[in-house]
Amino acid sequence: VPHTLVVRYPARPRASRIVVARGALAGLGRFVRTLTSATTVALVSDARVLALHGTAARRALARAGVRAVPLIVPRGERAKQPRVLARLWDRMAAARLARADAVVALGGGAIGDVAGFAAATWLRGVPWIGVPTTVLAQVDSSVGGKTGIDLAAGKNLVGAFHQPLGVLADPDTLATLPGRQRRAGLAEVVKAGMIADAALFRSLERDAGALARGDAGALERAIVRAIRAKTRIVQRDERERDGGPRTALNFGHTLGHALEAAHGYRRLLHGEAVAIGMRIAARLSVREAGLPGRELERLEGLLDRLALPRRMPPTSLARLAQAMAHDKKRAGRAVRWVLTPRVGHASVPRLISSRVVRSALLDAGARP
Ligand SMILES: NC(=O)c1ccc[n+]([C@@H]2O[C@H](COP(=O)([O-])OP(=O)(O)OC[C@H]3O[C@@H](n4cnc5c(N)ncnc54)[C@H](O)[C@@H]3O)[C@@H](O)[C@H]2O)c1
Ligand SMILES: [Zn+2]
């Protein structure tokens, strides 16, 4: 059963259309034709994804009479570099990509971020369509319109809000994803349930075994609901106002980002760092926001069943404090935490005393 969500933003003339369906990739050409008047698309992807899913994507585009120019970028975060972006612009110029044409991003979140930003800037903005092929990209990065690249000074420092005209999420493409990556992506689904959708959280508890195994039906159900939850949040707060609804999406991320930075973005996948971050944020929530102890246990139990990490790799407290102090989303000098009073709800980011944070971090395995 295909699920279609139409996402409208108050400030935008055109809605974004999100389709989630097993096998949807075969309909990519029709999707592009319905949403745009493109005759050529820049198909931005990496070599691995292109080898696994590129043929299906290109056949679908060809069947609909759309010319696809493949633009290959490095795998993973290395795609999000200024010189990769500059090369994309040059290749778009060579392909004579016109105002009515479009960019198609086929791959994980990094591909979506750089391809979406290339679309935001090329000819001052052309349409783009996301074809996310990781769990994280399907539930998180393809919704909300954030695009951008990294600098040596930090991740995601340059970018734009540029909503995709359409997103085609095909859960069958996740079959080729390494299990560790699939499970890490599920951490963001757990987050969506925890902060905004108690029924999603319950369905994850029911389906945890199937999700951990990569069952496509269970993945499809979870992905549809997680996208709905994120959509409801970003529609009310497209630009992430200070203290606005969108800040709730940072649940687990205060510490998650710090852990990733402290380990040079190598040791932990983003979702693994967020899983550890959510465990700590939930423990702080018991103390500071009245989260019942048994709801903390539900979160811990669900993350355990998805084989997401319980403890942080050896990290010094000083290194973590330093990384948190550099977080792009901090308010002034203070570090704020999104807490949850109960499953399905989040509170506005709050200042937590450093003594309380310190003891929670030590409990979770940080080195004094
Ligand atoms: N724009 C947003 O709102 C937003 C939100 C969350 C994260 N992000 C960004 O997303 C990025 C992380 O995305 P990610 O976790 O998808 O990882 P990724 O994009 O870094 O991709 C990881 C790897 O997975 C491989 N891969 C992708 N799909 C595959 C498939 N179906 N089968 C086999 N291999 C596949 C890729 O080749 C790549 O090597 C970060 O850069 C992060 O900043 C953006
Ligand atoms: Zn995240």
Average of per-residue pLDDT across 34-63: 98
Does ligand 1 lie within 6 Å of residue 110's CB atom?
yes
Q: Residue 128 C-alpha to ligand 2 middle, in angstroms?
A: 22
How high is the pLDDT of residue 12? 84
Q: For residue 156, which atom of ligand 1 is closest to its CA?
A: 43
- Interatomic CA distance for residues 32 and 55, integer angstroms: 16
Q: Residue 111 C-alpha to ligand 1 middle, in angstroms?
A: 7
Of 58 and 327, which is predicted with more confidence? 58
DSSP 3-state of 278: helix
DSSP 3-state of 318: helix
pLDDT bracket for residue 329 (50, 70, 90): low
Considering every ligand atom shown, identify the ligand nearest to the alpha carbon of residue 112 and give its number: 1
Give the chain's radius of gyration (CA, Å): 20
Active site residues: 124, 146, 188, 230, 240, 246, 250, 253, 257, 270
Q: 134-143: per-residue pLDDT in tens?
A: 999 999 998 9
Does ligand 1 lie within 6 Å of residue 102's CB atom?
no
Q: Report pTM.
A: 0.96
Q: How far is CA 46 from the centre of its chain?
A: 18
**Does the pLDDT of residue 331 top 60, yes or no?**
no
**Nearest residue to 267 via CA among 278, 259, 257:** 259
Average of per-residue pLDDT across 1-27: 91
Average of per-residue pLDDT across 322-338: 75
**Longest CA–CA separation in the chain, Å:** 62
Average of per-residue pLDDT across 13-26: 94
42-51, 187-196, 318-327 — which is least confidently predicted?
318-327
344's tokens: 């399905």
How high is the pLDDT of residue 333? 58
Average of per-residue pLDDT across 290-304: 98
Average of per-residue pLDDT across 201-215: 97
**Does the pLDDT of residue 126 top 90, yes or no?**
yes
Considering every ligand atom shown, identify the ligand nearest to the alpha carbon of residue 251 and give its number: 2
CA atoms within 13 A on the CB side of 326: 16
How high is the pLDDT of residue 75? 97
Does ligand 1 lie within 6 Å of residue 72's CB atom?
no
Q: Under 8 Å CB-to-CB from 212, ≥6 apart: which residues? A: 183, 305, 306, 307
How high is the pLDDT of residue 309? 96
For residues 21 and 2, the answer to whether their CB atoms sit within 8 Å is yes
pLDDT bracket for residue 1 (50, 70, 90): low
Does ligand 1 lie within 6 Å of residue 107's CB atom?
yes
pLDDT bracket for residue 175 (50, 70, 90): very high
**Does the pLDDT of residue 27 top 80, yes or no?**
yes
Q: Residue 157 C-alpha to ligand 2 middle, in angstroms?
A: 16
Q: Residue 73 C-alpha to ligand 1 middle, in angstroms?
A: 13
DSSP 3-state of 183: helix
**Does the pLDDT of residue 335 top 70, yes or no?**
yes
Does ligand 1 lie within 6 Å of residue 144's CB atom?
yes
Q: For residue 111, which atom of ligand 1 is closest to its CA?
A: 19
